[in-house]
Amino acid sequence: MIILHDPDTLRHEAAEFVGAKLTPAVESPDRIRNITEALIASNYKLLSLSSTEEDKAQTLEIAHLTHDKQYLHHVSSAHSLWLSAGIVGPQESVLPECFPFPHSVTSQPGPRPPKDVFARAGYYAFDLSSGIMQESWTSIIASAHLAARAVEMIHVPHDQVADAIGTSIAPPGSQAKGKTVIALCRPPGHHCDGRRAGGYCYINNAAVAVSAFRAVQSQASGQPVSPKIAVLDLDFHHGNGTQEIFYNDPDVLYVSIHGEDEFPYYTGSVDERGGPDADAVGKNVNLPLRTGSSFSEYMKLLTEGLKHIVKHDPMFLVISMGFDTFRLDPLGNFAIDTEDYAVMARTVRDQLADVPAVVLLEGGYVVEHLGPNFLAFLGGWDS
């Protein structure tokens, strides 16, 4: 198993509004530090990348397949605009002032991209947890690049990669069992719907992985192909962005287990089933779980979700992996413990052992437990 990391993912350090206070965002660079330290201490080999200008340009091109061009331009340029206008300092965050609102008379045209720099921050975001500071874009594009690179690497024989980095990739004792690449993405992605940032997400890394897989397959076939793909979202929160991007796509099955009535509040119910194209109905599966649920209750839904994925028969699997399902998480409320992540991983792997997979990091906010929880997941996946 290969684990990809890029130190540039640590540069983004935004602020968010919580209640009446502007505070450092709960989604912090220490999350990644804790995971990489735990991996190194356990003799896992990290493949640490640094994206070149060409990598970044390619990643942006892939992101454009599922993201609005003007939106991405806003995310990459908003801070420098605000900085030169003297509205923010380098470490301060661009945050919204006013959000687009539904028009009361249906015949009115919908909101258009505004010119005003304050208005744009609200037009391209849906909450106050997705601030943009000076170095945010560096991390955002590095994170998306890790997702795209992970997809490329499932196509490279793992022993070649081991040779290239001059070391064995798996820790002693673990077996090489098919192709899985894990990307330590930060910032996360699943709340970004391609037109707006929210929930600490700016580019939907899962969507980038899907597009990258299609590109590799199309290139190999010499013509555009649309292989069946599944996205399994195990973050505590509903991945409204991933759902939105693939809602009417019959080739991409989206399955999510998430806290009922939790952030992002307006999506995630069982009746969001995909469509309107008939082929896409049933290709969106939401499995909400109530507050305080135990791991055995969680496992019932995981088993159900996996049945949908096996039936879809995907050629490729993306796992949006959040550790905010952990019992102590400040943003979650499930009763899931460290060792449960091993069972979770093994259960997914057992059902889909032959399907190449990328695992992308989403949320998880108890910094000192992230490393142990991540290691438990890897142990279960590899066993």
Q: How far apart are CA 48 and CA 111, in angstroms?
A: 42
Total residues at interface with ligand Q9C (CB under 6 A): 17
Of 113-172, which residues contact ligand Q9C (CB under 6 A)? 129
Instruction: Give min distance, CB of 243 to Zn ion, in A.
Output: 14
18 binds, among ligand Q9C, Zn ion, none (CB under 5 to 8 A by kind): ligand Q9C
The residue among 215 and 321 lying less far from ligand Q9C, judged by its C-beta, is 321
Q: Does 235 bind ligand Q9C (CB under 6 A)?
A: yes
Burial of 76 (0-12, 13-18, 19+ CB in 10 A): middle
Q: Which one of 131, 194, 363, 371 is in contact with ligand Q9C (CB under 6 A)? A: 363
Q: Does 369 bind ligand Q9C (CB under 6 A)?
A: no
Partners of 248 in the β-ladder? none
The residue among 131 and 199 lying less far from ligand Q9C, judged by its C-beta, is 199
Q: Is there a catalytic annotation at residue 191?
A: yes
Q: Which one of 123, 254, 263, 334 is in contact with ligand Q9C (CB under 6 A)? A: 263
Q: Which one of 67, 237, 283, 308 is in contact with ligand Q9C (CB under 6 A)? A: 237
Q: Tell me if 78 sits within 8 A of 117, measured CB to CB.
A: yes
263 binds, among Zn ion, ligand Q9C, none (CB under 5 to 8 A by kind): ligand Q9C
Q: Tell me if 41 sits within 8 A of 33, measured CB to CB.
A: no
Q: How far apart are CA 351 and CA 317, in angstroms?
A: 12
Of 16-35, which residues contact ligand Q9C (CB under 6 A)? 16, 18, 26
Q: Does 235 bind Zn ion (CB under 5 A)?
A: yes
The residue among 215 and 358 lying less far from ligand Q9C, judged by its C-beta, is 358
The residue among 188 and 371 lying less far from ligand Q9C, judged by its C-beta, is 188
Helix axis angle for 136-153 and 205-221, nearest 10°, is: 40
40 binds, among Zn ion, ligand Q9C, none (CB under 5 to 8 A by kind): none
Q: Which one of 96, 194, 274, 363 is in contact with Zn ion (CB under 5 A)? A: 363
Dihedral of alpha carbons 107, 113, 114, 115, sign: negative
Instruction: Give min distance, CB of 226 to Zn ion, in A.
Output: 29
Q: Tell me if 171 sits within 8 A of 44, measured CB to CB.
A: yes
The residue among 237 and 349 lying less far from Zn ion, judged by its C-beta, is 237
Active-site residue (options: 74, 191, 258, 369): 191
Q: Does 188 bind ligand Q9C (CB under 6 A)?
A: yes
Instruction: Give min distance, CB of 190 to Zn ion, in A.
Output: 8
Q: Does 27 bind Zn ion (CB under 5 A)?
A: no
Instruction: Give min distance, CB of 189 to ligand Q9C, in A.
Output: 8
Q: Does 324 bind ligand Q9C (CB under 6 A)?
A: yes
241 binds, among Zn ion, ligand Q9C, none (CB under 5 to 8 A by kind): none
Q: How far apart are CA 211 and CA 227, in angstroms?
A: 11
Q: Which stretch binds Zn ion (CB under 5 A): 4-12, 103-111, 321-329, 353-361?
A: 321-329
The residue among 26 and 81 lying less far from ligand Q9C, judged by its C-beta, is 26
Q: Does 322 bind ligand Q9C (CB under 6 A)?
A: yes
Q: Does 323 bind Zn ion (CB under 5 A)?
A: no
Which residues here bind Zn ion, judged by CB under 5 A?
235-237, 322, 324, 363
Which residues here bind ligand Q9C, judged by CB under 6 A?
16, 18, 26, 129, 188, 191, 199-201, 235, 237, 263, 322, 324, 331, 362-363
- Which of the residues are catalytic? 191
